[in-house]
Structure 1
Amino acid sequence: MKRNTLIAACLGLAALTLGAAASADQLDDIKAKGELVCGTLGTSQPFSFQDASTRQLVGYDVDMCKLVADKLGVKITYKLLSVAARVPELNEGRVDILAANLGYSPDRAQQIAFSHAYYVSPQKLLVRKDSGLDTIESVNGHRVAATKGSSSEREIKRVLDKSQVLGFGDSSSAYLALQQKKVDAQFASELVLVRLQLQSPPTAPVSIIPKSVFDESWGLGVRKSEPRLLDAVNQALDGAEASGAAGQLFDKWFGAQTQYKLQRAFKIAPIAG
C-alpha cells in the first residue's frame, strides 16, 4: 500500500512538473532570467546606430525596446543583426523581439507576429526642383528610381503603372542617378529622402512631393507562437501612447529640434491587415 501511495505521489508530482513546463512560455522565461534580448540593426540612423561621441547604441528603435523592457520589469540587451538575418534570428530563438525597421507586409506576417505600429513611414517621391514635377500623377510616365528588391520598388511599379521603374543597389545610388538625370524621380521613405535633401548641393536642389504614395506601418516582431509576449508588448506600446511617452520619443529623434523636422502624423495602433 505504501509503495502504491509513493508511486502515485511521484506520478502526481511529475504531472504537476509537466503541466508547469507546458504552461511556461517566452514571457515567463524573459521575466525569470530578468532580461529582454532585442534584435536591431545598429546601422540605421536615427533608428539604431552608434553615437559618435559615447560609442553607445542609441536611436528610436533602441528606446522603444528599452520602453518594453522597463514595462516588463527586466533589463534590456541588444543584438545587432543584418537585414537578412532579422526574421531567422527571431524564429530560431536567438533574440526575443525585433526592433529593426520591420515594415509590415502580408508575406512577412506569415512568418512572424507584428506588434501594434510604433512607427509609420510615409513613402514619397523626390524630384529635381527644375523638373516641373510636383504631384504623384505628374510623375507617372517618367523614369523612377527605387531600391532593388525592396517593397518600395514593387509598390511603385503598381502605383505608377506608366512609369519605367529602375532598381538600384541602395538609396545613394538611386539619388546619384536622379542628379545625373538618368531618372526623373526617386521613390523611398520620407526619412531617407529628407537625409538626401539635406545633402543636396545648392547647385542641384531637390524637393519632396508632399503627398505620400502610401504609408508603411512598422511593428516590433515576436514569434508567432508567443501570444502572451505579443500582448504584453502591445500593452507597453499602448501605455506609452496614452502617457505621451511615445510622442516624446518621436520628437526626440525626428521632431522640430532634429535635422529631420518631421511631424508625427500617426498614433500607436493595431496594424490593419
Structure 2
Amino acid sequence: MPQEHSFPKRFVALAVGLLAFAGIASADQLGTIKQRGSLVCATLGTAEPFSFSDPATREIRGYDVDFCKAVADSLGVKLELKLVAVEARIPELSQGRVDIVAANLGYSPQRAEQIDFSHQYFVSQQKIMVRTGDGIRAFSGLNGKRISAPKGSSSEQAVKAKVPGAELLTFQDPPSAFVALLQGKVDGFALSELASTRFMRQVAGKTELMLLPESMMAEPWGLGVRKGEPALLKHVNDTLAGMERSGEAAKIFDKWLGPATLYKSSRDFSIGPIATASR
C-alpha cells in the first residue's frame, strides 16, 4: 500500500496560526489608522461644494471634507486628504492607498461588489444640462446627440441606462465635461443637479443653459470602505448615525447647500442604511 504523507502537527498548527494572523491583520484597518495617527480620505477636490480648493486659502474644503473630518475627529486622529480622479476612487481604496472615500461616491450594485458602502450621507439627483437655444427639452431630444460625463462616474452609467440613443463622451473630471458643452463639442452634460447648478452660475449672463426636468436617477452617496474591514465600517456608520442624532449632519448640509447658499436646497433625506433591495 502507498504510504500516506502527513506534516507534523506543529507545522499544521503554525500554518493555521499564520493564516489566522493574516486574516486579523487584513481586517484591522481601524487599528492601523489609530496607530498611524491619521485617517487618509480620498476626495475629488474639483467638485464644489463637496470638495474644492478655496481660492483664498488654497485649502480643500466642502461638504465631503467636513464628513471626513468628523470621522477623523471621532477616532482622535488627524485628517489627511488625498485628491483622486473619479475613476481612481475605487482602485485607490481597494489597493490600500486610502482608508475611506468621500468623493461623490454613488451607490450601485456593481460598486458594492468591489467595496463596502457606509450609510447614505447625501442623496443626489442626476440630471442633464443642455444649451437653452438648442430646443432640447426632454431625453428623447438627445437621441443621436452627444452627451458628456465624467469618466467612471454614476452620471456616465445613468446616461447609458436612460439615454441609450445618445453618443457618450467621457472626460477626466466634471469641469472638462462641462467645457465640452460650452464649446459645442457635445449637446448635453450629465452630472448631479447641485454640481450642475454651480456650473450654470459660473457662466450666468454669458451662456444660456438649463437642466432637463427629468431625473436620470436618485443616487444615495456613501463613504467607501475597503471590503473585509467590519470594524472600520461599523465605526464610520456609528459616527454618521451620531451626527444625524446630534444635528451636526443637518448643520453641514445647511452650511454648504442650504437656503443661505447659492444652492438654496432643503434636506429631504436622512442618514441611514442605503436601501438596496429595490435597486
TM-score (ref. length: structure 2)? 0.77
Measured in 2, the distance between the counterparts of 1:80 and 1:128 equals 31
Q: Is the contact made by 1:112 and 1:222 (CA closer than 8 Å) also made in structure 2?
A: yes
Q: 1:168 and 1:17, CA in 2 relative to 1: closer, same or farther beyond 3 A?
A: closer
Percent identity over the alignment? 49
Structure 1 residue 190 corresponds to structure 2 residue 196: no
Structure 1 residue 30 corresponds to structure 2 residue 44: no
- 1:93 maps to what in 2? 96
1:70-127 residue CA offsets vs partner (Å, 9 max, x unmatched)? 2223322222333343323322323211112222222222221111111222111324
3-state SS, counterpart of residue 122 of structure 2: strand
Q: 1:192 and 1:248, CA in 2 relative to 1: closer, same or farther beyond 3 A?
A: same
Measured in 2, the distance between the counterparts of 1:100 and 1:204 equals 28
The equivalences for 1:1-273 within 5 A come to: 23=24, 25-130=28-133, 134=137, 136=138, 139=141, 141=143, 143=145, 145-147=147-149, 149=151, 150-161=153-164, 163-169=165-171, 170-176=176-182, 180=184, 183=187, 185-202=188-205, 204-273=207-276
3-state SS, counterpart of residue 85 of structure 1: helix
Measured in 2, the distance between the counterparts of 1:199 and 1:238 equals 35
**Aligned AA (1:46):** P
Q: Is the contact made by 1:104 and 1:217 (CA closer than 8 Å) also made in structure 2?
A: yes
Measured in 2, the distance between the counterparts of 1:242 and 1:188 equals 30
3-state SS, counterpart of residue 86 of structure 2: coil
- The structural deviation recorded for 1:238 is 1.1
User: Which runs of no fewer than 5 residues in structure 2 stay unpaired?
Assistant: 1-15
User: Which runs of no fewer than 5 residues in structure 1 stay unpaired?
Assistant: 1-14
**Aligned AA (2:182):** L
TM-score (ref. length: structure 1)? 0.78
Q: CA RMSD in A?
A: 3.1
Q: Is the contact made by 1:103 and 1:216 (CA closer than 8 Å) also made in structure 2?
A: yes
Measured in 2, the distance between the counterparts of 1:103 and 1:216 equals 6
3-state SS, counterpart of residue 217 of structure 1: strand
